[in-house]
Chain A
Amino acid sequence: MTGEVKLRRYHAPVWDEPIILELGRRGERGVLLPEVEEGIRRRVGPAGDLLPAKVRRKTPPGLPELSQAQVLRHYLRLSQQTLGMELDIDIGVGTCTMKYSPKVNEGLAAMIAEVHPDQPEETMQGLLEVVWRFGHLFLREISGMDEFSFQPPGGSAAAFNNACMMRRYHGLRGEAAQRNEVITTIFSHPCDAACPATAGYRVVTLYPDEETGLPDVEALKAAVSEHTAGLFITNPEDTGIFNRQIDEWTGIVHDAGGLCAYDQANANALLGVTRARDAGFDMCFFNLHKTFSSPHGSSGPGCGAVGVTEELAGLLPVPVVVKEGDRYRLDYDRPNSIGKVRDFQGNLPSVVRAYAWAMSMGAEGLKEAAEVSAVNNSYLETKLRKIRGVTKPYGGRRVDQIRYSLAKMREETGVGVDDVNRRVVDYGIQTLFTSHHPWIVPEPFTPEPCETYSKADIDYWAEVLRRVSDEAYSDPEKVKTAPHGSSISRINHSPFDDPERWAMSWRAYRRKVRKEK
């Protein structure tokens, strides 16, 4: 069972796949539509005559022309050149909770594929019930909050939603102009700074104490004032460090007249362990595509489920699903609502999946998921701290993830995290998530071994890192010149900041780089 971990031979698929606009021949078709019926044509005449000549398209769009099998083959090849979570041991992408998305839930979510969001409520009772049950029976208990909305279609969108609610809250009290500052911490996700800024706030960022990795509570006391609108914070922060004084923090912000918004992107190891409400938060959000198993979809669609206290429930975006007797209804009658942050009700397939996942777990299962995530994280640490060149800045036990540093390795070998990141790919391991900027922790990486990874998975992943570390110390060039087994060789980055050469479309590339007319 224990013993040496044998690394597999791996090479990413190499298809040398052209851009689809380079493929096909004029006249090919991938799919046909039904002919317009004779009866329709007789009555309305040629379609072209139904529009003024002025608005008609003069030249056809330059889309590719391919037959169906060729389109499918192209995209299947691109899919093969994508290392999805289900193919690798995706521990390296921390803060993202790359957990297994149960297949059964895909089929359940697909049941609503052909539902239009404006259908009469009586034809959506089942769907509304799932939404209500998940919010009322699960998330309320998990967080301690009173009411939930699923309209924000991602984590950052939820942070923006919460900034809008904060703005409205102070606006209703006539204090919006005065309370124009939001406080966050540098190890909170960037959305906790960027979204309040987009909503019009000046952002005050607190930096960590060198020893604890957390800002000192005195720094918060100094930051709050009559200008404080509120706090946007993650806990544990992206370092994995849990702020043990978080209830004191929320108290300080409340005393200054602000609200506290909890970004629960890192909630996976906290389910059933500690709750947003009990730490004094007024609002929070969960990423259903992280903690609640909805798949990440190559970066969305996701869902940022926003929970609030009763006092703020009237500010939630509309509509909110409510239950009356045994019927479910969409409640638009919330005069203080911020309105909408996303059309309709947001991304409900994510809610269906999250509900199914939570139903499969129950109270004990959710707590077990949390505990195993925490155990996995500390277990991985026992492996990583034996690896040469890996250090863990700041002391202490971490919750769901740890921000490590390769600064020592870089100093001793010249190999840094960007090099390691290109090299791990050669072992069939997804690129490590480093850190958002600025890199307070130098040469950072942030693994998160959530509950769906086995001990063998963790051992394997750690072994890859150990092997790459050995290479860095014995043959650094091998790491620096990586990747050696990727779908492509090393990328030329210089065009990305050069207006003469960057190209966000095939037509721009043809004009600028290929110099075609």
Chain B
Amino acid sequence: MGSRRPVHPYIPNSVPAVKEEMLREIGVASADELYAQMIPERLRLRRRMELPEPLPAELDLKRHVEEILSRGNTCSDYLSFLGGGCWQHFVPEVCDEVIRRSEFLTAYAGGPYSDLGRFQAVFEFQSMICELVGMEVSGIPTYDWGSAAGNAIRVASRITGRREVLVPRNISPARLSIITNFCNPTETGDRITIRQVGYDAGTATLDIGDLERKMSDRTACVYFENPSYLGVVEVLGDELSEIAHDHGAESVVGVDPITLGVLAPPSDYGADIVCGEAQPLGIHMHAGGGLSGFIASRDEERYVGEYPLRLISITGTEREGEHGFGQCRYERTSYIARENAKDWVGTTTTLWAIAAAVYMSLMGPEGMREVGESIISRSHYAASRLSEIGGVNIPFSGFFKEFPVDFSATGRTVTEVNRGLLGHRIFGGRDISAEFPELGHPALYSVTEVHTQGDLDRLASTLREVLS
């Protein structure tokens, strides 16, 4: 005790002699004198901040944070059927290996002469997303599916000069809230109005009649999802796009790319702009931190000119055959145009885009087909097992990896069912009974390639026990 606090390992120039040498060079006696030249006294905090006692020793810090975080569980030690916008998929080790690389982890905003590899990796992400969705243009990733949809809808509004969008009733309420903040400043007159289109009670696909009733010459775009939040594959995509086009509107499709080894790309059914969530492509859930959206479109100037994102284009160099990269139509972005930009661009989720590029490369077309087939087999197996349980109803059949399970006839609420499952170390499906009361007491179950037959059998038998 009484000894001087050691110099912090993250602050080399806090060695007193070094700091003094630098201060001498600057010509001031202390840091305080420096601040006095910059910040008026009345704004200075003239007391020590009251913060928790620090743990400067790495081992102490590690123990402390580990101790706190150990008060919790993960989907590795519980069997989880949670999805609804963030899903448990298999993450190949190579994905983690690449994004743990110090170069990718700690780079930021360098140019292509210093960060060529970062530019190329993003270009490859764009290229492979384009292969999956059947488009030719994509950009850096967005924050998540919701922000990608918000951006895509605003692009459609600018292209058409119209200020009304149609979105499905069976959209994720969280995503709708994000889109609303992007598109619909309810408080101002200058807004993009959002109208919701109902879904068919029998199939959960979009209600074509309702869509046609709501289409007008004010409609900028029809936004629909494949699969929908309720998990169902949209079989009438071509008709939805056609209706949009007949009214001079854009067809904007939100898609889960893990489906695209087996499901037709949105370009096949008339999509003009595609958006979606890249998290299933080799990115851990990270308590929701793993989300990463994308946008893609045809290679037409009217779309490219309206993207808010940085768009990485390939080009040549002075050396024959060498690939270079750079920013396409950079003056669109807020970095140049400020308030006149196409929305805004900023720090998004590039590290996840690199993970997704690695994932798509590892999987290839066959891997993407297999993962899709594996998921759909497992989810339908799970649904089949669960539907054998008395009172358990699975209302829709045409789903991919997620499906609502209605517990109304069991006399239990989802809260009660999930509490019972939790006692058996199972995270039941997301409770969507407040979001979709028309479905009774539904929970949204997510089944992916990580679930073995044993896991699904265990879910069925535990559920039977919980409900008995």
Q: Is B433 an interface residue (CB 8 A)?
A: no
20 other A-B residue contacts (CB within 8 Å) besides A83-B115, A104-B58, A244-B40 = A33-B371, A47-B376, A51-B262, A52-B398, A72-B97, A81-B116, A116-B427, A118-B86, A123-B73, A171-B186, A177-B187, A342-B178, A348-B286, A360-B56, A368-B14, A399-B39, A454-B13, A488-B112, A504-B126, A505-B138
User: CB distance B288 to A348 under 8 Å?
Assistant: yes
Q: In whole angstroms, what is the CA distance A494 to B324 when docked?
A: 12
A135: interface (CB < 8 Å): no
Q: Is B146 a contact of A33 with CB atoms below 8 Å?
A: no
Q: Is the CB of B22 within 8 A of A375?
A: yes
Q: Residue B107 contacts which of A50, A64, A85 (CB distance < 8 angstroms)?
A: A85
Structural contact, B103 and A79, CB atoms closer than 8 A: yes
Bits for A219-262, please: 1 = Cβ < 8 Å to B, else 0. Answer: 00000000000000000100000101011000000000000000
Given A58, A344, A504, which contacts B313 in the complex, CB threshold below 8 Å?
Answer: A504
- Knowing A296-B107, A362-B52 are in contact, say whether A342-B132 is a contact too (CB < 8 A): no
Q: Can you list 6 residue pairs at the A/B interface with Cβ under 8 Å?
A: A44-B380, A50-B377, A56-B262, A396-B38, A451-B13, A505-B130
- The answer to whether B345 touches A352, judged by C-beta atoms less than 8 angstroms apart, is no
Say yes or no: A338-B181 contact (C-beta < 8 A), given A30-B361, A343-B146, A454-B13. yes
Which A residues touch B97, using CB under 8 A? Answer: 72
Whether, in the assembled complex, B121 has its beta carbon less than 8 Å from a beta carbon of chain A, the answer is yes
Interface residues contributed by chain B, number (CB under 8 Å): 211
Q: Is the CB–CB distance between B453 and A37 below 8 Å? A: yes
Q: A116-B80, A157-B143, A507-B127 are in contact. Are A82 and B103 (CB under 8 A)?
A: yes
* Given A61-B368, A362-B54, A511-B136, A297-B350 contact (CB < 8 Å): yes
**Interchain CA distance A71-B218 in the complex, whole Å:** 48
Residues of B within 8 A of A300 (CB): 141, 143, 347-352
A34 within 8 A of B: yes
A309 on interface, CB distance cutoff 8 Å: no
B304 touches A47 (CB 8 A): no
Distance between B370 CB and nearest chain A CB, rounded to angstroms: 5
Q: Which of A332-372 contact B (CB under 8 A)?
A: 338-350, 352, 355-356, 358-369, 371-372
Would you call B11 and A40 a contact (CB within 8 A)? Answer: no
User: Are B118 and A82 within 8 A (Cβ)?
Assistant: yes
B409 at the interface (CB under 8 A from A): no
B34, CB-defined interface residue at 8 Å: yes
Task: Let me know if B152 is at the binding interface, CB within 8 A.
Answer: no
Taking a contact as CB atoms under 8 Å apart, the answer to whether B106 and A364 are in contact is no
Q: How far is the CA of A55 from the CA of B344 in the complex (A)?
A: 35
> Is residue A212 within 8 Å, beta carbon to beta carbon, of the partner chain?
no
Query: Are the C-beta atoms of B339 and A194 separated by less than 8 Å?
Result: yes
Instruction: Give a binary string over B99-124; 1 marks a CB under 8 Å from any A CB, 0 the rest.
Output: 01111111111111111111011111
Residue A98 is within 8 A (CB to CB) of chain B in the complex = yes
Q: Does A312 contact B (CB under 8 A)?
A: no
Are A365 and B56 closer than 8 Å at their CB atoms? yes
Asked whether B313 lies within 8 Å of A93 as measured between CB atoms, the reply is no
Contacts of B141 in A (CB 8 A): 300
Q: Which residue of B lies closest to A107 (CB)?
A: B62
CB contact between A508 and one of B65, B121, B137 (< 8 Å): that residue: B137
Q: Is there an interface contact between B56 and A361, defined as CB atoms closer than 8 Å?
A: yes
Chain B CB count within 10 A is highest, among A83, A421, A511, for A83
Whether A491 contacts B18 in the complex (CB less than 8 A), given A19-B127, A343-B85, A505-B126, comes out as: no
- Known contacts A36-B374, A455-B21; A194/B49 CB under 8 A: no
Q: Which of A48, A79, A296 has the most CB of B within 10 A?
A: A79
Please name all residues of chain B whose beta carbon is closer than 8 Å to the beta carbon of A348 when the two chains form the complex: 286-289
Q: Is the CB of B121 within 8 A of A75?
A: yes
Which residues of chain A come closer than 8 Å to B75, judged between CB atoms? 114-116, 119
Minimal beta-carbon separation of B157 from chain A (angstroms): 12
For window 179-216 of B, CB contacts with A under 8 Å fall at 180-182, 185-191
Nearest A residue to B50 via CB reads A141
Chain A residues whose CB sits within 8 angstroms of the CB of B313 once the complex forms: 495-496, 502-504
Q: How far is the CB of A219 from chain B (nearest CB, A)?
A: 17
Interface size on A, residues (CB 8 A): 220
- A379 contacts partner chain B, Cβ-Cβ < 8 Å: yes
B452 pairs with A37, CB closer than 8 A: yes
Interface stretch (choices A403-411, A430-438, A463-471): A430-438
- List, in ascending order, chain B residues with CB within 8 A of A272's CB: 45, 48-49
- The smallest beta-carbon distance between A193 and chain B, in angstroms, is 4
A275 CA to B45 CA in the complex, in Å? 7
Cα A116 to Cα B418 with chains together (Å): 15
Given contacts A57-B264, A273-B45, contact A71 B37 (CB under 8 A): no
Of the residues A56, A236, A279, contact of B263 by C-beta under 8 Å: A56
User: Which residues between 172 and 224 of chain A lie within 8 Å of chain B, taking CB atoms?
Assistant: 176-177, 180, 190-191, 193-200, 203, 205
Name the one of B136, B189, B361 contacting A66, with C-beta atoms under 8 angstroms: B361
Residues of A112-154 contacting chain B, CB below 8 A: 112-120, 123-127, 129-130, 133, 137-138, 141-142, 153-154
Q: Is there an interface contact between B39 and A273, defined as CB atoms closer than 8 Å?
A: yes
- Indicate if B319 sits at the interface (CB-CB under 8 A): yes
* Chain B nearest CB, measured from A118 CB (Å): 5
Question: Which residue from A80, A374, A397, A489 sits with its C-beta under 8 Å from B322?
Answer: A489
Does residue B412 face the partner (Cβ distance < 8 Å to A)? Answer: no
Known: A36-B373, A399-B38, A496-B313. A57 touches B61 (CB 8 A): no
Bound CA span A497–B329, Å: 5
- In the A-B complex, list the 9 residue pairs whose CB atoms are closest, starting with the nearest: A362-B54, A156-B346, A344-B288, A30-B362, A171-B187, A117-B288, A176-B187, A194-B334, A78-B117
Distance between Cα atoms of A262 and B123 in the complex (Å)? 34
Q: Is the CB of B103 within 8 A of A87?
A: yes
A496 adjacent to B339 (CB under 8 Å): no
Instruction: Check if A68 sits within 8 Å of B124, measured CB to CB.
Output: no
Interface residues of A in 31-73 (CB under 8 A from B): 31-34, 36-37, 39-41, 43-44, 47-48, 50-52, 54-58, 60-66, 68, 71-72
Do A344 and B316 touch across chains, with their CB atoms under 8 A apart? no
A194 touches B344 (CB 8 A): yes
- Which chain B residue lies CB-closest to A70? B361
B336 to chain A, nearest CB (A): 4
Task: Answer whether residue A299 sits at the interface, using C-beta atoms and an 8 A cutoff.
Answer: yes
In the complex, are the beta carbons of B185 and A167 less than 8 A apart?
A: yes
In the complex, the answer to whether A343 meets B68 with C-beta atoms within 8 Å is: no
**Which one of A16, A20, A41, A114 lies within 8 Å of B124 (CB-CB)?**
A20
A130 and B69 contact, Cβ closer than 8 Å, known pairs A116-B82, A116-B285: yes
B384 at the interface (CB under 8 A from A): yes
Q: Which residues of B have CB within 8 Å of A39? A: 381, 453
Contact of A360 among B55, B86, B357, B453 (CB under 8 A): B55
